[in-house]
Amino acid sequence: MITLKDLVNGGSASLVIVSAALAGHYIAEGMTPVQWAGAACAVLGSVAVAVAVRVWPAPAKAPQQQRD
């Protein structure tokens, strides 16, 4: 069964791959230095999202009361 955590991890990893691939493709076609900087920011932003997803703490759960 696929959990939400698995889905989010896969989604953030695919975001990194797609943004890096698109940046590489457009850089190979020819970009200005300003466009290079924008592409680098996009890739670094997607890496930051992937790291944040993996290290963000899980929400604390309230302890359940025992029923008598």
Res. 67: pLDDT tops 80? no
pLDDT of res. 57: 80
Q: For CA atoms 61, 11, 2, 6, give the dihedral sign.
A: negative
Q: How far apart are CA 14 and CA 59, in angstroms?
A: 24
pLDDT of res. 51: 94
**Mean pLDDT within 27-36:** 93
Q: How many residues does the chain have?
A: 68
**Mean pLDDT within 13-29:** 95
Q: Where are the alpha helices (DSSP H) in 30-60?
A: 33-55
Q: How far apart are CA 9 and CA 17, in angstroms?
A: 13
Kindly report the pTM of this predicted structure. 0.76
Q: How far apart are CA 22 and CA 18, in angstroms?
A: 6
